[in-house]
Amino acid sequence: MWTAALLTIGISGAAMPAGDVFPGVGDFRLQKIHRAAGESEWPFVAESGTLLCAMVLRQPAVYFVPEVAGTPGRAFVIDNDITMMAFANIGMTGVLEPYDNFEQLLKRLVPYVTMGKRLCNQPPGTNVSGSEL
């Protein structure tokens, strides 16, 4: 009964492995990023961190994990959809540099979201060492 209902509304995930819907630890791809000297459009408060990407509900989900004093912080969702990003990051402050408007925020974030989505094209568990993406 549930399978028919799920298929009717377009959700075909009733019989797929959980890893295709919700990622496990080994499903993430990582890339260290750092603020370049003189970079004025760096969107994050932290000077460095890690971009993560994993498939969530069969869509690439990109995260930034800030690194402060060598310690990783909490994962912060970054996306082109400001509403989704705000909802996913409720209660998290102090991750993004102040911005004047959403256009400025998107201008700063889009390159990192794009890079993160390209990261998702790599095999699960990949740790990209340089800036090749």
pLDDT value of residue 26: 86
Query: Per residue of the chain (133 residues), what is the pLDDT tens digit?
Result: 334 333 434 444 445 555 567 788 888 999 999 999 888 899 999 999 999 999 988 889 999 999 988 888 899 999 999 999 999 999 999 999 999 999 999 999 999 999 999 999 999 888 987 665 5
Which pLDDT value is given to residue 131?
60
How far, rounded to the nearest angstrom, does the alpha carbon of residue 104 sit from its chain's CA centroid? Answer: 19
Cβ atoms within 10 Å, residue 97 = 14
Sign of CA dihedral 99, 100, 106, 108: negative
β-strands 48-56, 59-68 pairing: antiparallel
